[in-house]
Structure 1
Amino acid sequence: MSQSWYLVLLLMSCTMVLGTYVCYYKEGTVILGGLFPIHGYKGYDQCGSLLGPSRVQRLLAMAQAVDDVNNNPGILPGVTLGYAIFDTCSRESIALNQSLNFIHHRCDRKISCQKYSNLVGVVGASFSTSSILVSHLLALQQIPMISYISTSHQLSDKTQYPFFLRTATPDNLQAAAIVDLLQYFNWTYVSLVYSDGGYGFEGMRALQEEIEQTDICIATIQQVCRSSTDSHVEGVIRKLQSYPEARVVIMFTTIFETNMLLSASLRLNTTGQFVWVGSDGWGTTTEEMSGNEMAALGAITFQPARCAGSFAAFNAGKNNPWLGEMIAAGMIEKTTCNLSSDACNAFMAAERDDPIVHYVRDAVFAYAHALDSLMKACGQKVECLLASSCKGVTLRDTLLNTTFDGSCGRVKFDANGDVMGRYDVRNLQRRADGGFEHVIIGKWDSSDRSISVDLDKIVWNWTQAPTYPQQQEYPYQHQKPKPYDNPEVPRSVCSEPCPAHRQRVQRLNPCCWDCVPCPDNHVVVNGTCCVQCSLLETVEANECVTIPAVWLTHSSFTGMILTAISLGGVICTLAAFFIFFTHHEHPLVKASNKHLSRLILLGLFEGYTHVIVICMKPTYVTCLINRLMFGADFTLIYAPLLTKLNQVYRIFSGASTSVVKPRFIGSHAQVFISVLLVLIQLLLTSINLILTPTKVMSVPTGSGDERGVQLACLTRDNNLHEVVASILYNLVIILLCAYYAFKTRSLPACYNESRFISFQVYTTVVLWVAFIAIYFSVSTPINRTICHAGVLMVNDTSALICFFGPKIYAVYKGKSASRVGVTGSGVYNGRCTTPYPRPPLSFSPASSADPSLKRVETAATDVFSLPSTRISE
């Protein structure tokens, strides 16, 4: 046996001794029982004072609904409904005792039974705790029970409460309505107070289940019992004060616990510190608040949707056992016993605001329609209405399948005996005359779970003005509250949303956090974590935005300088080539090995042109050209130079020891060797092209506010082996040039270019050392490009000046070819020959007699294509 049944038996044993309570009764073919809290509870299972007009109105609404059924010929023809309404005195034990009157007609024949043997169902009870107990008792006799206000979600369990139905909306839907209100105002941090018993506990549990599906947090949960002392209730208020950010307090309590809390709030002077959000357990009428209206001022409560015109003036009837109390309490005058009395109509009209009335009427009409259907199924036999079943169909089953037009629209029970509901959202306000009233400020509908609130109608009782940032940034769009533009709406959040550049670091719960700034180049994702943007992106408005890539352009200041110098170098190179071409028969040009000179000029032209290409936007084509030209820039210059120096060295060193002309010193052989050296460089580059395909890359540069992105051809790390290979190969050639320049430093002046070659070679070595150091230390592609272009221009310009400047000067400015040392530097040198005007190739008799000098002169004349006779003026 379950604990509930033990409790039922215990209460039955306790209530049997209480005697019979008064009853509001009307005879009928079948009787509907009624359980209504007309009085309060005094203690020790004794009734207290009359509660108020609204509670009287509810029982009168049942009596009126029964009369309306009896006056409708379309429902239950030949059958009259009666009622037997008992007062539960707002106490579960008394409600259970009164329900015993409904089951005596099912007792053993040896026991004398009361006159309610024709009872078919019960309307009630009011409180969920009372309905839980009474439903267990009535289920023993299979008596259906339809409550008009019991909303505990626990009663939806048909395995425990198979004969319970209700026309009120269950608490799980009310919990959904409360959560929707919290989300509407963006109240994400709230406290919860609930009453003991099934109503408060089940409501609290349903509310927690709804909140778990949202981003709302509960700061604290407190319980208040009817037996709680004043000090305990004041402790609850102080506990609520300890969470100052949770300014909204949800009260899933009955009117009794609510008054206890409000009274404690008045004693502690906390009025205006909380925004109370109440369930339908309180806030029905202001008469029930027992002078605590100021503490509850501004409260938002939920009540079942009110239906206009659902209750009319009704003659209270002289058989109403509480009529005398109502007259004595001033609730109704004696004249109201007359149906035509204006005072009666005025009294009832004043009480039409009670939102529970239409639920009472719907409960009565649900029985009427179900009994009508049951009687039609049994051939219009009245006897079947009192049988436990008719043709296998019970009244309970018929009720679950009953659909009719109720006071507020279509009424249909689901399998759990519940109906879909609608709530009025109400606000407790003070009238101009000093009284208090609940003003409807919005609606909530369970069919589509929609809530609407008229902000202009709300009056807040808020002593602490909320502070609002002028421009609040929200990580989520849905976090922005709909009424945010209204500065009067109180705030109830543990932590305000963090700015876009700060992440939420959870402190106590998901609603309480600290705002911690994210590192540079990080964005906040969902407000909870910092995510780093890529190195090619920057942060703008908490978004990763691609940084526009830049490169060295011809229009930039540095680019214009490099372009201008390279164009000047191209023009000078073409001019030198033109001079050498047009003066190819000039002895100086012939003596300079015109084929190798043209290769050197080609290398200079390629170097200057490469600078122009370097300043172009990196693309696949430009990157491919840059990679091919990177190694060839120096090789095209120094491969012919090395070949030439090697040729001169071999001629003069070999002629002094042998009369045999050295091998491979002819023009074609020299060109072939030079081209072969260049091809080796290109082969190395081609291998690297295969190993590392050409591509354009975006390279991040700088940090912080100086961050940027530059386009580059590969990167320093990707093509490191290519750069090293090219540099090492060219460095070997340059060092060999330096070696031969040093070895030929002591040759006859007429054949000695070592001064200019040495200067150029040493300059190149210094440039290469500086280039390598700078190239591998510079981090940005643009700076590396500038470094590369600068080295090219300095090297090419120095080569153009050192190699071709003196020769061009001699061709145009020399007064006579005889004054030019044709096999030398190209500038007259007095130490080379006898003083002017003797030809430079004229040897003294002593020198002419030296066989080795004769062989040198013969070899030089042959190699440099000079005439064997003297050059006359």
Structure 2
Amino acid sequence: MLKRALGSLEGQSETWPKVFIVSEKYEVSSLMFPAEGSPVNVLTSRHCPLLLTDSWRTSLQDGDFVIGGVFSIHYQHNTMIYNYTFKPEPPRCTGSLNVRSLRFSRAMIFAIDEINNSTELLPGIKLGYQIYDSCVSVPVAVHIAFQLTNRQDPVFYKGENCSQSGVVMAAVGDSASTPSISISSIVGSFNIPLVSYFATCACLSDKQQFPTFFRTIPSDHYQADALAKLVKHFGWTWIGVVHSDSDYGNNGMASFLEAALRERICVEYIESFFRTDPASKIRRVADVIRSSTAVVVVAFTAIGEMKVLLEELARDPPPPRQWIASEAWITDPNLMRFSFCAGAIGVAIQQSVIPGLRDFLLGLSPSEAAASPLLSKFWEEAFNCSLTETFSDKRACDGTEDLNTLKSSYTETSQLRITNMVYKAVYAVAHAIQNAVCSKTNGILQCDKHVRLEPKQVLKELKEVNFSKNGYHVSFDANGDPVAFYELINWQKSESGVIELVTVGYYDASLPRGQEFHINRNLTWLDGGTQVPVSICSESCPPGTRKVLQKGKPICCYDCIPCPEGEISNMTDSPDCFPCPREFWPNSNRDACFPKPVEFLSFDEVLSIILAGFSVSGAFLAVITSVIFFIHKTTPIVRANNSELSFLLLFSLTLCFLCSLTFIGAPSEWSCMLRHTAFGITFVLCISCVLGKTMVVLMAFKATLPGSNAMKWFGPPQQRMTVVSITLVQVIICIIWLVVSPPVPVKNLSTYKEKIILECALGSAVGFWAVLGYIGLLAVFCFVLAVLARKLPDNFNEAKMITFSMLIFCAVWITFIPAYVSSPGKFTVAVEIFAILASSFGLILCIFAPKCFIILFHPEKNTKKHLMNKN
């Protein structure tokens, strides 16, 4: 039968299978080869004979239950253009080996051997495996998926105790998200679980589309959140983004951009590419990175894409960029040769230890390598020798080659991360199989290897898996995902100049929100610097300014505008300014509110001192004048000018001078009421005295006319009554004012925005202007009478002096009104004091100064004869 099967291949293309596993019953020498010159590799199996028909199966071991394995051991596959004239060939993996993925596949074999030798897990049951190379290719992955679901391989059975080697209970793989999506979509229809160790696309958590998918590596949903928090932690708000044009890159980048938006991070550019894209596109992506202003670049790429990008950037002097890496490439040792990426930081799977794995990997012998085409290729590339071919440019391997001396990703076991994910995936499947076929009887675990186990039973048990291995917990949530835990890795140059992976922190999604992210070690940044690089579109707006977005640019690009008058911002990058409370005002930097200074005409000001000096001087002058008049009260000049009214006038002038002092100092309820009423009453008293003197002068000359008896109506009693009556009217006006709406101290917040004016509010404006109006009315009336009496015949006519004094008085108070209304703050009070002093000085100087001059310096003129002289 086997001869007939081999004979049927005669004449076929050399691309048909070249590896055969046959029963040990058949001797190799008796086989008929399909064609002369077409070598066939023949291996024997102790169990059922099996003929392999695919070129991507790399390892095989029969067992009671078989686990599939899918690894990307090559990065390329052959591409052919078909003309539909011959049967298409199966896709083939080509190119150099990815020895890191080879280590992953060997770790699966190690784990299965460890389980088979264990007395605690699946005792008495032997696990088999079928390991495939997907070469990161969807077409190859699809072929592998159908192979995994094919219960009946093209085999030649002999005997009745053949195990069902074609039945795969579960599969471990793949390393990339896109092939995993293809495989899971196919095997899921047959309820075959797929446990990935490196497929991180968040889309695979969708149980509606991928009900049989599990993974031991966290979803990119958490990775994206971790990367966004990492960027935000260092204050980077202006970044560039590159990602693989694949399910891994596209979905991962979508999750990252969503997280970046939550963290208010702006993206200058987003570039996607695939490793097989034309060189021109890769060059364009590199040029975008070179010409950008963003110093930080987040690379959510697979290893293959990152490799071609860094190679392109290395052609010219690479730009100084701070690289933020996804877990796919941050720990890849082959990329660490790009020294310009020193300082890169990213998230990585937790570092782990797998006892015995290093010895297993290094224990590969030349004879074992020669038995496998894949291992033969690895051995020959590693040691640059030939294991099988006689006629070769390479030297023949002599058996002295030692893997311990090899510096390769295959032998690098100090940074086991993804390898541990493979290890945990195998153990997860083994635990699920044990839960399905084993049971405890009297505390003893017993397993039935003859039970007809279906993949859907393994799928059911896999959802409930919960165990720990080597100190690492393994379980799956409802989406088939593990608890997310990442280490933060920094590429740091050692003293020898070699880039090393240094763990600087971690991200634990199981911790409470806001506590997941921690950094516990110093980092090295681009160019070996110790200072965190700056990557922002616009400098932060300091307190005292607000952000105004630049038109057509992201929210991270803005201008800083100073807060308007009266408003502050007390935090960095404030979007708005807010006004201070009414009694507060911003400082010069406009970042804090301080109480407004309170302003009033205080006694310690220069202006107040000057006004107070004039006020006291005026009062002193009135007192001195009173003393002079009192000493010379019997002289004609004093007696001729109504000495009683003169003394009353001097007394009222003294009060006028002193009442101006009530306007100085902080206003209070009593001072506000006193200053206006005292001013109004004393001035009316003063003017009423002047009015009385004027009327006396006028009536004195009228009384000299024959038959006139006018003086009897203007004697001393009438003069007193006139003064009292006129003053009483003002007193009544002031009382009504104080009762109805008196002046009160207020804080004037409207005149000045930056300070408070403490002043006396008038209360009733009608009362205030009634007081001033009454004074003005008396002054005008007095001025008219004085004008009428100014030319009366007399050597010393007092009416002339009264005319001048009233003229000054009226002029002062007429100009006072606009000055009072327009003067701001404390200067309003100063204007009022000035008007009081000016009018008071006008009265005392015009009326009493000439008399005092004659009394003191010209006593010869102080005679009745001189006064009566009409010349």
Structure 1 residue corresponding to 2:615, chosen from 558, 562, 566: 566
- Measured against aligned partners, the alpha-carbon deviations of 1:130-156 in whole angstroms (never above 9, x if no partner) come to 111111112111122221111101111
Structure 2 residue corresponding to 1:362, chosen from 424, 432, 439: 424
Structure 2 residue corresponding to 1:794, chosen from 820, 823, 838: 838
Q: Contact conserved, 1:31 with 1:119, CA < 8 A, in 2?
A: yes
The equivalent of 1:783 in structure 2 is: 827
The equivalent of 1:413 in structure 2 is: 476
CA distance in 2, matches of 1:75, 1:592: 135
- Measured against aligned partners, the alpha-carbon deviations of 1:781-812 in whole angstroms (never above 9, x if no partner) come to 23333222222223223333444556778899
Change (3 A) 1:54 1:134: same
CA distance in 2, matches of 1:536, 1:714: 21
Structure 1 residue corresponding to 2:379, chosen from 299, 316, 327: 327
Q: Contact conserved, 1:144 with 1:396, CA < 8 A, in 2?
A: yes
The equivalent of 2:333 in structure 1 is: 286
- How much is the aligned-residue C-alpha RMSD, in angstroms? 4.4
> 3-state DSSP class of the match of 1:125?
coil
Q: Give TM-score, length-normalised by structure 1.
A: 0.77
The equivalent of 2:462 in structure 1 is: 399
2:526 is the counterpart of 1:460: yes
Structure 1 residue corresponding to 2:208, chosen from 130, 142, 159: 159
Change (3 A) 1:126 1:114: farther
2:295 is the counterpart of 1:247: yes
The equivalent of 2:305 in structure 1 is: 257
Q: Contact conserved, 1:53 with 1:331, CA < 8 A, in 2?
A: no
Change (3 A) 1:320 1:573: farther
Deviates further, 532-541 or 68-77:
532-541
Change (3 A) 1:830 1:158: same
Deviation at 1:698, TM superposition (A): 4.6
> 3-state DSSP class of the match of 1:562?
helix
2:734 is the counterpart of 1:682: yes
Structure 2 residue corresponding to 1:37, chosen from 58, 61, 72: 72
CA distance in 2, matches of 1:132, 1:208: 22
The equivalent of 1:493 in structure 2 is: 536
> 3-state DSSP class of the match of 1:677?
helix
The equivalent of 2:319 in structure 1 is: 272
Deviation at 1:298, TM superposition (A): 4.1
Q: Contact conserved, 1:101 with 1:116, CA < 8 A, in 2?
A: no
> 3-state DSSP class of the match of 2:228?
helix
> 3-state DSSP class of the match of 1:322?
helix
Q: Contact conserved, 2:747 with 2:759, CA < 8 A, in 1?
A: yes
Deviation at 1:406, TM superposition (A): 4.1
Structure 2 residue corresponding to 1:695, chosen from 746, 749, 753: 746
CA distance in 1, matches of 2:278, 2:766: 87
CA distance in 2, matches of 1:307, 1:154: 27
- Measured against aligned partners, the alpha-carbon deviations of 1:280-322 in whole angstroms (never above 9, x if no partner) come to 2223323367xx7245444334321212456442155847663
Question: How do residues 567-716 of structure 1 correspond to structure 2 at under 5 angstroms?
Answer: 567-574=616-623, 600-632=649-681, 634-646=683-695, 649=698, 653=702, 656=705, 658-659=708-709, 661-662=712-713, 666-683=718-735, 685-686=737-738, 689=741, 694-698=745-749, 709=755, 711-713=757-759
Change (3 A) 1:397 1:279: same
The equivalent of 1:838 in structure 2 is: none
Deviation at 1:25, TM superposition (A): 2.8
Question: How do residues 300-379 of structure 1 correspond to structure 2 at under 5 angstroms?
Answer: 300-309=345-354, 311-314=357-360, 315-316=363-364, 318=368, 322-330=374-382, 350-375=412-437
The equivalent of 2:164 in structure 1 is: 115
Q: Contact conserved, 2:184 with 2:194, CA < 8 A, in 1?
A: yes
Q: Contact conserved, 2:596 with 2:754, CA < 8 A, in 1?
A: yes
Matched to 1:325, the amino acid is: K
Matched to 1:250, the amino acid is: V
> 3-state DSSP class of the match of 1:249?
strand
Deviation at 1:77, TM superposition (A): 4.0
Deviation at 1:19, TM superposition (A): 3.7
The equivalent of 1:444 in structure 2 is: 507
Q: Contact conserved, 1:194 with 1:223, CA < 8 A, in 2?
A: yes
Change (3 A) 1:336 1:791: farther
Deviation at 1:251, TM superposition (A): 1.6
Q: Contact conserved, 2:63 with 2:165, CA < 8 A, in 1?
A: no
> 3-state DSSP class of the match of 1:246?
coil
Deviation at 1:95, TM superposition (A): 2.0
CA distance in 2, matches of 1:642, 1:459: 95
The equivalent of 1:764 in structure 2 is: 809
Change (3 A) 1:723 1:308: farther
Q: Contact conserved, 2:290 with 2:318, CA < 8 A, in 1?
A: no
Q: Contact conserved, 2:789 with 2:800, CA < 8 A, in 1?
A: no
Question: How do residues 529-544 of structure 1 correspond to structure 2 at under 5 angstroms?
Answer: 529=576, 537-543=585-591, 544=593
CA distance in 2, matches of 1:77, 1:653: 149
The equivalent of 1:86 in structure 2 is: 132
Q: Contact conserved, 1:623 with 1:695, CA < 8 A, in 2?
A: no
The equivalent of 1:56 in structure 2 is: 102
CA distance in 1, matches of 2:78, 2:671: 99
Deviation at 1:369, TM superposition (A): 3.3
* Residue correspondences, number: 772
The equivalent of 2:248 in structure 1 is: 199
Matched to 2:234, the amino acid is: F
Change (3 A) 1:238 1:831: same
Gaps of at least 5 residues in structure 1 are 1-14, 463-485, 702-706, 821-826, 836-873
CA distance in 2, matches of 1:811, 1:307: 119
CA distance in 1, matches of 2:472, 2:398: 31
CA distance in 2, matches of 1:227, 1:599: 115
Change (3 A) 1:640 1:345: closer
The equivalent of 2:868 in structure 1 is: 832
CA distance in 2, matches of 1:833, 1:583: 21
Deviation at 1:32, TM superposition (A): 2.1
> 3-state DSSP class of the match of 1:405?
strand
Q: Contact conserved, 2:322 with 2:525, CA < 8 A, in 1?
A: no
Change (3 A) 1:67 1:647: farther
> 3-state DSSP class of the match of 1:140?
helix
Q: Contact conserved, 2:796 with 2:867, CA < 8 A, in 1?
A: no
Deviation at 1:738, TM superposition (A): 0.3
Q: Contact conserved, 2:169 with 2:455, CA < 8 A, in 1?
A: no
Q: Give TM-score, length-normalised by structure 2.
A: 0.77
Deviation at 1:203, TM superposition (A): 0.8
CA distance in 2, matches of 1:720, 1:569: 29
